[in-house]
Structure formats: structure tokens, C-alpha cells
Amino acid sequence: MRRTTGGQTIVEAALVLPMVLVLLLGSMQCVLLAYGAALARFAAFAALRASATAASGARPATARAAAFKVLSGVPAVTMLDVATGEVPLPLRGASLAAPRMTCTVVARVPRLVPLRLSFLSTVRASAAMPMEPAR
């Protein structure tokens, strides 16, 4: 008597295929996150550079415009927030602290794996540079 194994192949494929798809989509999600993080880092640097040359009151708007300009041509990444600030940076041997300008960009990348985890789609990148003290 001869037995066929056609049904066994279909059952094994039905068991393995979802795991393979989750692994494939998970690896693609990691690539998208790395891509989004690199773009957010570049947008933070561009925003910091643009806001460093702007007047003190116009720095947040200038930073937002520069980050939006970097991320506007990218179809997969959406800008959520841009924050700028000045933090005192203590200098060795000096009584005054030089300000350090910071810029943080928060962006969203598409989610491929259908999970409700926000860290799978949001990237945050920061850039900082010391400013010249006012004379």
C-alpha cells in the first residue's frame, strides 16, 4: 500500500510560512528604522546648522523649516517634531559657561509588522554644537 505525502507538505508550509514572513518583515522594519534614524540625524544636523545662523527668536522656526526641507523629499519618513534649545557647557578653567545649542528631530517611518509598539515606527535623533560666547 502506498501513501501520498501531498497533504503533509501543505500543512508544513502553512505552519512555517507565517514565521518566515514575520522574520522577513521584521528585518525590513529594522532596515527602515536605520534609514529613518540616519535621515533624522541628518535633518537634526541641518536644522542645527540653520538655526545657529538665525536670530535668537527665529531659531525654532528656522530649525523646523530646515528639518522639513531635508525630510520633505523622502516618501517613507514623516517629521513629527523639532525641538531646539541652549544648554550651558562648562569650560575648564573659566568662570563662564559657553552655551551649547541642541536640536532634536522626531520622525516616523512606516510600520511593516502589524504590532501596536510605537518604538517600531518612531525615531529620535539629536545634534549639538558649542556656540561662540557673545562679546
84, containing H or E segment: strand 78-90
Three-class SS of residue 99? strand
Tell me how far apart the alpha carbons of residues 3 and 42 are, in angstroms, rounded to a whole number.
62
Tell me how far apart the alpha carbons of residues 83 and 22 are, in angstroms, rounded to a whole number.
35
Name the grid cell of 38.
Answer: 540616519
Name which of 106, 39, 123, 101 is nearest 73 in CA terms: 39
Three-class SS of residue 118? helix
Tens digit of each residue's pLDDT (9 = 90 or more) over 10-30: 888 899 999 999 889 888 888
To the question of domain 8-130 being in CATH 3.30.1300, the answer is: yes
Q: Provide the pLDDT for residue 73.
A: 82
Q: What residue segments make up the domains of the chain, in order of their start?
A: 8-130
Tens digit of each residue's pLDDT (9 = 90 or more) over 79-121: 888 988 887 766 666 666 667 888 999 998 888 776 666 667 8
